[in-house]
């Protein structure tokens, strides 16, 4: 029998996006790589256009720049008249980073983390228990309670007592305070490998994830080179590597100080780095040694790892380098802290951090 079979229409990549959207995807990637330098990003985009014919006669680079301004992604209202991205662009970059890194993962339900503990939570489980003084009326399982009353007292003289009542057990939901440490020492761009851009994308994706899904959680982001300082989420696209050594001690001290102010019972530190600690600050001077592992710097770093353990703050280290002596440092640091360590490629960094974040949020530390 002849007929027509209908299937779901899936447009080709070229048809599914407008000219503006195609250019926008590339532009935001370039803005992230250039640390928010719009002029450099547009120059790179123009070179790519010449090489790959991205634009057409109907829609050129001038049209794209005009649309960026009209749609609120770009502004030239600066003291010198140069272009800058807006807050709308910053949010778009974070959203795209989240989709790029975590987009293939299945969507979950409600936006809270769970532990294996039951209690005064707000999501019901399949577990039942006897009523206890203090349980709320909305926790009562009426079907189970009525069944118990029928069994215990019969239908002829039906009655319900406290002993007949059953309640639905709720899951206890926890909050977590996380500090993400990002290494911005010079080695993050050495040997022709851009390690800082994937680190930024992971930070932006994690920030966007927490902002959207885990609104009760807190995320503080710090960077560390010769010193350590806190940055805002909105500053992430502009983050760049400097001519710095690696002062892991300063980063850990700042992270611990930030977590002391948080009242959440669950606290953790994520550290993204590609090297060993090579710097300490002593007063106003810096003690530096990039040759091998310096015992003076190492011992101070391990002492802080031990302090974090006493405070029940696990440190998860994401080492994006594979040198054997670096692995030894991470192994010793992890053992002292009783934390976790991953030797990650840049490509798998985001998934590791996401999975570890979820796993740590399932347990009460």
Per residue in 66-93, pLDDT tens? 999 999 999 998 899 899 999 999 999 9
Exposure b/e, 186-221, CB count within 10 A at least 16 = b: ebbbeeeeebbbbbbbbbbbbbbbbbeebeebbbbb
Rg of the chain on CA atoms, in Å:
27
3-class DSSP state for residue 354? helix
Q: What number is the average pLDDT over the span 21-34?
A: 93
Percent helix, strand, coil in the chain (nearest 5)? 45, 20, 35
pLDDT, tens digit, 9 for 90 and up, residues 304-354: 999 999 999 999 888 877 677 777 888 899 999 998 888 766 666 777 777
Number of C-beta neighbours around residue 137 at 10 A: 6
- Supply the mean pLDDT for the chain: 83
pLDDT band at 133; cut points 50, 70, 90: confident
Predicted TM-score of the model (pTM): 0.74
pLDDT band at 5; cut points 50, 70, 90: low
pLDDT of residue 257: 97
145 pLDDT exceeds 60?
A: yes
Q: Do the strands 315-319 and 340-343 form a parallel or antiparallel pair, or are they unpaired?
A: parallel
| 256/156 Cα distance (integer angstroms) | 66
Q: Is the dihedral of CA 35, 39, 44, 46 positive or negative?
A: positive
195 pLDDT exceeds 90?
A: no
| 205/233 Cα distance (integer angstroms) | 10
231 pLDDT exceeds 60?
A: yes
3-class DSSP state for residue 341? strand
Determine contact, residues 87/234, Cβ cutoff 8 Å: yes
Please give the share of the chain, as a percent, with pLDDT higher than 70: 82
| 102/97 Cα distance (integer angstroms) | 8
- Report DSSP state, residue 107: P
300 pLDDT exceeds 90?
A: yes
Q: Is the dihedral of CA 361, 318, 311, 178 positive or negative?
A: negative
Number of C-beta neighbours around residue 33 at 10 A: 17
Please give the share of the chain, as a percent, with pLDDT higher than 90: 46
pLDDT, tens digit, 9 for 90 and up, residues 98-112: 887 766 443 333 334
Q: Is the dihedral of CA 245, 337, 324, 301 positive or negative?
A: positive
Q: What number is the average pLDDT over the span 157-173?
A: 76
Paired with 334 in beta bridges are none
Q: CA distances (Å), 306 to each of 4, 66, 145, 181, 271, in order?
A: 70, 55, 51, 18, 16
CA contacts within 13 A on the Cβ side of 11? 6
């Amino acid at each position: 029998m002849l007929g027509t079979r209908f299937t779901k229409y899936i447009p080709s990549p070229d048809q599914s996006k407008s000219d503006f959207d195609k250019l926008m995807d590339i532009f935001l990637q370039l803005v992230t790589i250039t640390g928010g330098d719009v002029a450099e990003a547009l120059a790179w985009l123009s070179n790519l256009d010449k090489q790959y014919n991205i634009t057409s006669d109907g829609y050129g680079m001038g049209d794209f720049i005009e649309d960026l301004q009209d749609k609120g992604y770009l502004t030239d209202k600066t003291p010198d008249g140069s272009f800058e991205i807006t807050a709308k662009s910053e949010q778009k970059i974070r959203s795209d980073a989240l989709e790029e890194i975590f987009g293939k993962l299945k969507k979950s339900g409600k936006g809270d983390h769970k532990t294996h503990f039951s209690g005064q939570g707000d999501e019901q489980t399949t577990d039942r228990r006897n009523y206890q003084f203090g349980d709320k009326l909305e926790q009562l399982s009426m079907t189970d309670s009525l069944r118990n009353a029928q069994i215990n007292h019969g239908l002829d003289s039906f009655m319900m007592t406290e002993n007949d009542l059953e309640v639905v057990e709720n899951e206890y939901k926890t909050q977590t305070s996380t500090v993400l440490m990002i290494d911005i020492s010079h080695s993050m761009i050495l040997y022709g490998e851009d390690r800082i851009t994937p680190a930024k994308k992971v930070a932006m994706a994690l920030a966007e994830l927490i902002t959207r899904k885990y609104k009760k959680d807190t995320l503080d982001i710090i960077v560390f080179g010769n010193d350590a300082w806190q940055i805002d989420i909105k500053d992430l696209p502009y983050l760049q590597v400097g001519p710095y050594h690696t002062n892991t001690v300063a980063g850990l001290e700042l992270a611990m100080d930030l977590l002391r102010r948080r009242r959440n019972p669950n606290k953790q530190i994520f550290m993204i780095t590609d090297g060993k600690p090579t710097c300490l600050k002593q007063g106003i001077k810096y003690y530096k040694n990039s040759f091998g592992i310096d015992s003076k710097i190492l011992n101070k770093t391990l002492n802080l790892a031990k302090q974090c353990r006493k405070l029940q703050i696990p440190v998860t280290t994401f080492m994006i380098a594979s040198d054997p002596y670096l692995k030894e440092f991470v192994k010793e640091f992890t053992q002292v802290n009783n934390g976790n360590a991953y030797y990650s490629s840049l490509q798998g960094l985001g998934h590791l951090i996401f999975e570890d974040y979820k796993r740590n949020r399932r347990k009460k530390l």
